[in-house]
Structure 1
Amino acid sequence: MTLDLSSLLRVFKLTLPVATAYVPLGLALGVFMVSSGIDWYWAPISALVIFAGSIEFLVVTFIISGQPLIAVAWTALIVNFRHIFYGLSFPLKSMKSRLQKAYGVFALTDETYAIVCASKGRPLRGIDISLLQVISHAWWVGASFLGAVLGSLLPAEVTGFEFALTAMFIALAADAVSNDSDMSLLTYAAISCVFGALMEFYILKSSFLGSGLICYLLLISKDYKQAKMEVPLHE
């Protein structure tokens, strides 16, 4: 299976929307790592080896606060648990070699999954999907490297880069709440925070995030199941 120039350009153009997210966040990750006292080269290394977006920001916090390994592993599992469901419809069978398949699983992100499963026109071949993931990965690694270099040049008094990912999630949450007519999502978030706090202080230390996410997942799953039951059957 070969890749011609037209296919290469097509796949590259598909990664441009990914770059609009990966480049600013990658820059923020690199600067954040350096400003947190971590050597600059760990930014591109983590981007290359971990390649999990939000988890990489959390890893910096975990390193600084000295969180136990079990807490890091549990948080990573909960945050990226959605990727298990992505695998149900990801066209892994279109990839021929074992290396392609292994990298396809490793480099499966929200953005590449959305592009692959919602591509318009001619569907992507296995080699196209691999190239899409490689280029997207390169955007992330390159931006993290550049951010680390810039961060090492910035004066120490410049702070606030650690808020980049938080700001993104706040914007996404605000958008979700604004489209939630009955405010159920906000209510579920509050309930989940209380549940996570109770678990953290009274039952299992360092379990706030994991417990809160599980509680929130159960609450929205209840609504999904109820809405599915209310859909009228067509004869």
Structure 2
Amino acid sequence: MKLKAFKAAFPYTIPVLMGYLFLGIAFGILLSSNGYHYIWAILMSVFIYAGSMQFVAVGLLTSIFDPLGTMLLTLMVNARHLFYGLSMITKFNDMGIKKFYMIFSLSDETYSLLCSTKSPKNLDKNWFYFFIALLNQSYWILGSAIGGIIGSLFTFNSKGVDFAMTALFVVIFINQWQSNTNHTPALIGVFASLLCLIIFGANNFIIPSMIAILFTLTVKNKPAKERDPQC
């Protein structure tokens, strides 16, 4: 049953494989080019697995030690996961011990797949969703390892490599826009973010924009289950 769930989950994760492999390589190269052994890229991807925050962490590791600033920056960069988690409470509730890994591994791409993918009827849905999350993280770890090794073997200018994560978010947004007929949530997200960017500035707009998006969607009375029955 577990093997069947693994085989069924793999095809859905292939697009993530393509993205995570190259993004992981970019992260590994960036970290290695800043003087860190490639093993650190692997360890960060295993135990932190925070995507964009791992790119940000490279700069934090090479700057003055500031634990409070690091904590606040981490909260702002990853604030969106607070809202991801709330919408996954019901789906993860009956997963037993696997629930803890599912919570840890809830990246943007994994969240998107868990919302849009329906488990085959002849499979244990909990194992199916678990393998989606596990495969996605394994791709990120593999990419990080490859990038770290490449960065340790060759010396070159890594300026601009960190833009890879921004490019991924743009691609995800375009894909979600094209695959859904209801663009209201996306437009709310864009305009709320722009408004908060103007009011609070580039360094402080993420948390207020998340709050504004959640409040607006709640007022409009369009919870996730109504917008997408898979979530």
TM-score (norm 1): 0.74
Q: Which residue of 1 aligns with 2:79?
A: 81
Q: What root-mean-square deviation, in Å, do the aligned CA atoms of Structure 1 and Structure 2 show?
A: 3.2
Q: Which residue of 2 aligns with 1:54?
A: 52
Bigger mean CA offset, 119-128 vs 184-193:
184-193
Superposed displacement of residue 218, structure 1: 4.9
Helix, strand or coil at the partner of 1:45: helix
Contact 1:33/1:148 (8 A) holds in 2: yes
1:132-175 CA-partner distances (Å, limit 9, x unpaired)? 22211111101100011111122234643233224445667899
**What letter matches 2:207 in structure 1?**
I
Q: Distance in 2 between matches of 1:46 and 1:138?
A: 12
Q: Which residue of 1 aligns with 2:180?
A: none
Q: Distance in 2 between matches of 1:89 and 1:186?
A: 20
Contact 1:22/1:143 (8 A) holds in 2: yes
1:154-199 CA-partner distances (Å, limit 9, x unpaired)? 22346432332244456678999xx89xx987775555345445xx
Q: Distance in 1 between matches of 2:174 and 2:200?
A: 21
Q: Which residue of 2 aligns with 1:233?
A: none
- State the structure with more CA Rg: 1
Q: Distance in 2 between matches of 1:33 and 1:15?
A: 26
Q: Which residue of 2 aligns with 1:38?
A: 36
Alignment of 1:1-235 (within 5 A): 2-3=1-2, 5-66=3-64, 68-90=66-88, 91-96=91-96, 98=97, 100-120=98-118, 122=120, 125-157=125-157, 159-169=159-169, 191-197=195-201, 209=203, 211-220=204-213, 224=217
Superposed displacement of residue 110, structure 1: 1.9
Q: Distance in 2 between matches of 1:119 and 1:170?
A: 21
Q: Distance in 2 between matches of 1:95 and 1:175?
A: 29
Q: Distance in 1 between matches of 2:26 and 2:13?
A: 20
Unaligned runs of 5+ in 1: 198-207, 230-235
The number of equivalent residue pairs is: 211
- The change in CA–CA distance for 1:68 and 1:149 in structure 2 (over 3 A counts) is same
Contact 1:40/1:149 (8 A) holds in 2: yes
Question: Percentage identity across aligned positions?
Answer: 27
Q: Distance in 2 between matches of 1:35 and 1:9?
A: 37
Q: Distance in 2 between matches of 1:186 and 1:132?
A: 28
1:53-109 CA-partner distances (Å, limit 9, x unpaired)? 00000111111222511122122222222223323342112313x2x1211111112
Superposed displacement of residue 47, structure 1: 0.5
1:190-218 CA-partner distances (Å, limit 9, x unpaired)? 55345445xxxxxxxxxx62x22234335
Q: Distance in 1 between matches of 2:174 and 2:128?
A: 35
